[in-house]
Structures are given as C-alpha cells and as structure tokens.
C-alpha cells in the first residue's frame, strides 16, 4: 500500500496551512477598546467645529489624545471630517453623520450609481453617500498620502470611523484608500474600519469586493450595530443594497453583550462574498431611533449632560414610510431565504 512518511507530510501540511491562512486574510480579534476609541472619535465630529481643530470640545476629553492634522468641510454637501494622529502614531480619520436623523430618514434617497473603480466589476453604490464622500475625497487623499509617505513607522495603522451617514462615508473612504496599492511606499499602511449604525452603502458586488480587498490586504473591518437601530436596515435590500461584512451586534443595551456575526463567506480572498447574518441585527422586527443615538453606553452626539441628550431623543419618531419600508424589506428577505432553500 502506498504511504507517506510523517517527516515528509508534516512540512507539506504546514505549508498548506500557512497558505490557507494567508489566503483567508486572518485578522486580530474584535477589540472593544479600539471600538470604543473609534466611537468617541466619531462623537467628536458632532461638536462645535472650531473646537474640533484645537481639540478643546466637550467630547474631546474622552478619546485618546489626538493631534488634529486637518479639518475637511464642504458647505454644498454639508459634510465634515477630520484627520489626526494619536499618541500611538495611528492616523485617525473620522466622518460626521447627519445632523438631523429624522430629516435624513424622511428624505431618504435610494438612487444607485456605478462605483468608479475598474477592479470592482458590477459595483453599485448609493448616490448620496458617494457624493458626500467625494466632496471631501481629493483633499483628504492628498493629506493622507503625505502622512503615509513621511511616516517612519513601518507598521502604520489608519483608523477610519464614523456614525450613521459618517459610517457610510467611512466605508467608501476605507475601500478607496485601501485599494490604492501604494507602489511608492515601502511599508503600506494597514486600515482599521470601525463604523457605528451605518446604512447599507452598495450592492452585493460592492460588499463582496470590499471584503475581498480587506482580506488580501490584511486590513480589519467591523460594522457595529446596536439592538433595534433603524439605520442599518436602510436602504432596504429589495432596492439592491447590502451591507459590507464584519457586523458586531450589541443586542442588549449596547454595554456588555454582543455577537460577532457570521456574514463573510468563502475560504479564499478572491472568493469572498457577503451574506447578512440572520441571527444579528437583521433578525429584529422592531426598529428604533433611540438605539441609533446611543452606542456602547455612549451618546453619540456632542452633549455635555446625558439628560439633555435623552430629552432631545424622546421626540424622535420614525416616519411612517420608513416603518413600512423596513416591514416590506423583512418580508422580502424572508421570501428570498425560502427561495434559496428550495
């Protein structure tokens, strides 16, 4: 009988295992500490703009100390983001979300447009989110590339974060910047994407492309959702939009209980695809604006007192058309699941 000696099998098996690990894009485990820092950096974007620049705002006291390199604003689109460097020499990019979530829900735009990346074949993204990101993109890319090329750090990390609309812009920024290749940089940066209450940004082709991109580059991506938050259910899947992978769902009060969701499928980077986990936020029948405004026990807006934030939230009523849309989408997903099983 044909046999293979252990001495010859072991190295081969080890090599196969290493190749498999490389192809799967193994990442470090989800870090609540880094997630909380990212959330606090997102919170700062809602503060008084001049105080963000010199890091003197109310919310600036909570996250790790940061030296702001530049503020980015566009009055036409009402967008804002900042870029800075923290005490560990990590570059931080944080995008501001919608200043009035109820108005955003009422005027929800679901118009898709082609994603302008030749390598992302068949990719469609949300027009409003894409235009918002593009309004800041060129100036931001110029500043980021300068920081990367001038950094002596051989393991430079770039944290990109945002809440709500800011989370959607963060996804587009991370995808754009991570796909640049950096041929003239000896040690390309590693990107860490942490979003909070982000809406769906593109179609399945886009979501799968982003997952494969992050897998190949060994970047990290976490899409954090809180209990019954309404925004992650929008735009609806029946309109062609799907989430990128990496959901972490806080299913109690967002303080201590979470599920690391299983939403990225495929064993090798080139075959990555995304399917939203029916055991995470997508299982929720009820929806809430309150859960959108508080993550990991922290109010996301720049308020000095908790009571002030809570009083502002109590008047938030989800528009009827959004409730109807989410209900119809849940029925659509249920029917789609049944069809797949047949």
Task: Look at residue 9 and tell me whether its pLDDT is greater than 50.
Answer: no
The count of structural domains within the chain is 1
- How wide is the angle at C-alpha 319 spanned by C-alphas 314 and 321, nearest 5°? 160
Q: Does the residue 123 lie in any domain?
A: yes
Cis? peptide before 235, omega within 30° of 0: yes
Query: Quick check: is 164 catalytic?
Result: yes
**pTM recorded for the entire structure:** 0.88
- Give percent of the chain above pLDDT 90: 66
pLDDT of residue 105: 82
pLDDT of residue 23: 39
Task: Look at residue 21 and tell me whether its pLDDT is greater than 60.
Answer: no
Q: Does the residue 10 lie in any domain?
A: no
Higher-confidence position of 2 and 257? 257
Q: How far is CA 220 from CA 35, 176, 313, in A?
A: 12, 14, 32
Q: Does the residue 264 lie in any domain?
A: yes
Measure the N-to-C terminal CA separation of the chain; round to a whole number of Å. 44
Task: Look at residue 94 and tell me whether its pLDDT is greater than 90.
Answer: yes
pLDDT of residue 341: 57
pLDDT of residue 285: 79
Query: Quick check: is 229 catalytic?
Result: yes
pLDDT digits (tens, 9 = 90+) for 231-284: 999 999 999 999 999 999 998 655 558 999 989 888 778 777 888 898 899 888
Question: Is residue 233 a contact partner of residue 204, using CB atoms and an 8 Å limit?
Answer: no
Q: How far is CA 322 from CA 31, 122, 281, in A?
A: 33, 28, 17
229's tokens: 């938050």
pLDDT of residue 186: 85
Query: Quick check: is 292 catalytic?
Result: yes
Q: What is the mean pLDDT of residues 294-303?
A: 90
- How many angstroms separate the CA atoms of 203 and 308, rounded? 38
* Burial (Cβ within 10 Å: 0-12, 13-18, ≥19) of residue 289: buried
Instruction: Please tell me the least confidently modeled range out of 92-101, 170-179, 315-324.
Output: 315-324
Residue of 126, 135, 208, 229 with catalytic role? 229
Q: Could you list the residue range(s) of the whole structural domain that residue 259 is in?
A: 27-341
Residue of 219, 233, 243, 292 with catalytic role? 292
Higher-confidence position of 153 and 84? 84
pLDDT digits (tens, 9 = 90+) for 28-41: 589 999 999 999 99
Residue of 37, 94, 132, 164 with catalytic role? 164
The DSSP secondary structure of 182-244, one letter per residue, reads: -TT-SS--EEEEEEESPPP-B-HHHHHHHHHHHHHHT-EEEEEEETTBSGGG-S-GGGT-B--
Q: What is the mean pLDDT of residues 210-226?
A: 95
CATH code for the domain in which residue 40 is found: 3.40.50.1820
How many other β-carbons are positioned within 10 Å of the β-carbon of residue 108? 18
Q: Does the residue 20 lie in any domain?
A: no
pLDDT digits (tens, 9 = 90+) for 119-137: 999 999 999 999 999 999 9
Task: Look at residue 2 and tell me whether its pLDDT is greater than 60.
Answer: no
Q: What is the mean pLDDT of residues 69-91?
A: 96
Task: Look at residue 307 and tell me whether its pLDDT is greater than 70.
Answer: no
15's tokens: 């090599």
pLDDT band at 112 (very low <50, low <70, confident <90, very high): very high
pLDDT band at 340 (very low <50, low <70, confident <90, very high): low
Residue 59 DSSP one-character state: G
339's tokens: 């069809």
Instruction: Please tell me the least confidently modeled range out of 101-115, 171-185, 323-337.
Output: 101-115
């Amino acid at each position: 009988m044909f046999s293979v000696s252990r001495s010859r099998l072991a190295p081969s098996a080890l090599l196969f295992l290493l190749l498999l690990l490389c192809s799967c894009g193994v990442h470090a485990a989800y870090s609540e500490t880094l997630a909380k820092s990212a959330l606090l950096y997102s919170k700062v974007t809602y503060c008084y703009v001049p105080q963000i620049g010199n890091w003197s705002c109310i919310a600036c006291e909570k996250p790790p100390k940061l030296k702001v390199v530049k503020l980015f604003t566009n009055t036409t689109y009402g967008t804002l983001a900042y870029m800075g460097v923290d005490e560990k020499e990590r570059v931080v990019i944080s995008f501001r979300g919608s200043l009035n979530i109820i108005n955003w829900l009422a005027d929800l735009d679901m118009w898709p447009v082609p994603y302008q990346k030749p390598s992302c074949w068949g990719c469609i993204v949300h027009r409003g989110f894409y235009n918002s990101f593009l309004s800041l993109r060129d100036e931001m890319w110029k500043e980021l590339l300068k920081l990367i090329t001038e950094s002596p750090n051989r393991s430079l990390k770039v944290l990109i974060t945002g809440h709500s609309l800011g989370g959607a812009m963060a996804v587009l920024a991370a995808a754009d910047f991570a796909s640049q290749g950096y041929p003239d940089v000896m040690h390309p940066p590693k990107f860490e994407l942490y979003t909070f209450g982000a809406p769906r940004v593109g179609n399945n082709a886009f979501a799968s492309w982003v997952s494969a991109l992050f897998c190949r580059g060994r970047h990290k991506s976490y899409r954090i959702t809180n209990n019954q938050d309404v925004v992650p259910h929008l735009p609806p899947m029946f309109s062609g939009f799907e989430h990128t992978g990496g959901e972490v769902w806080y299913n109690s009060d967002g303080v201590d209980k979470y599920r690391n969701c299983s939403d990225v499928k495929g064993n090798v980077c080139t075959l990555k695809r995304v399917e939203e986990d029916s055991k995470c936020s997508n299982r929720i029948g009820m929806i809430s604006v309150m859960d959108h405004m508080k993550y990991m026990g922290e109010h996301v807006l720049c308020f000095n007192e908790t009571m002030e934030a809570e009083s502002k939230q109590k008047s938030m009523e989800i528009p009827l058309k959004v409730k109807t849309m989410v209900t119809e989408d849940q029925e659509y997903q249920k029917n789609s699941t049944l069809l797949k099983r047949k």
